[in-house]
Amino acid sequence: MNVSSYGLSQNYYQINNQQNYIDKNAKVSLEVDEEKSKELEKEQEKLNEKINKNSQKDKSEEKSKPKTANELDPAEKKLVQELQSRDAEVRAHEAAHLAAAGGLAAGGASYTYQQGPDGKQYAIGGEVPIHIASGSTPEQTIANMQKVKAAASAPVDPSGQDMKIASTAAMMEMKARADLVKERKEESEALQEKQKEQTQKTNPYEKELKSLDAINNQDQNYKAFDMSA
């Protein structure tokens, strides 16, 4: 009975050990499978990100790729026509400024561009730098401001900024003209004073002669009075 019980106990122990071994191996195998699964998931995520990036890049390149005239839809064709018209208008506008500015232009025309559906760049804005400065004399300032006004109002349709520049030039011209009148008046007065001083130097007895002439005229008046009496 004891032997038999011992044998059963021994067998039970062996069975338990085998079960623990199986469970342990199964657990290890399960952990390994989970790690592999996580690694595969990470690789799959990386692959998906790469695919998404490439897809977005392809879409972006396809979107930015210029279209031919035949590939444009009606709305795109209309936009291209508007951009072409605007480009011609802007270039003519700035060319008129540049031609009228002459030597007052500080450089050539610069433009702001917009890309059309056809992939071309169209000018939608522009400017010509112009010196607005007083000259060394009122006459030079007046001449400069007249050129500035002509340059600002040269285009067929001057902008608000163009009219503002022309107004500033007109005010500077008015001031220069006032300065010129004042300067000429001062020059005239100085010339008269100089001539007066020169006359006194050439004939120092002029005052005495004028006094004698006055006395003689007075004597003549008295004689005329006596004769009439």
Q: What is the pLDDT of residues 185-220, one digit of tens each?
A: 998 888 888 887 777 666 655 556 566 666 666 555
Query: Which token pair is 65?
Result: 């790729």
Q: Could you tell me which residues come within 8 angstroms of residue 131 by beta carbon, excluding any fewer than 6 positions away? A: 104, 105, 106, 144
Q: How many CA atoms does the CB half-sphere of 166 hold within 13 Å?
A: 15
In angstroms, the CA 9 to CA 166 distance is 115
pLDDT at res. 127: 92
Query: Which token pair is 225?
Result: 């009075």
**What residues form DSSP beta bridges with 127?**
110
In angstroms, the CA 13 to CA 7 distance is 10
Say which amino acid occupies 156: V
Of 167, 137, 133, 148, give the one whose Cα is nearest residue 102.
148
pLDDT means per 10 residues, the chain with 229 residues, are 46 54 51 59 70 64 64 87 94 93 88 91 92 88 93 90 93 94 90 80 60 61 50
- 155 in Cβ contact with 149 (< 8 Å): no
pLDDT at res. 225: 47
Q: How many angstroms from the chain centroid is the CA of residue 106?
A: 14
pLDDT tens-place string over residues 46-65? 766 777 776 666 555 555 56
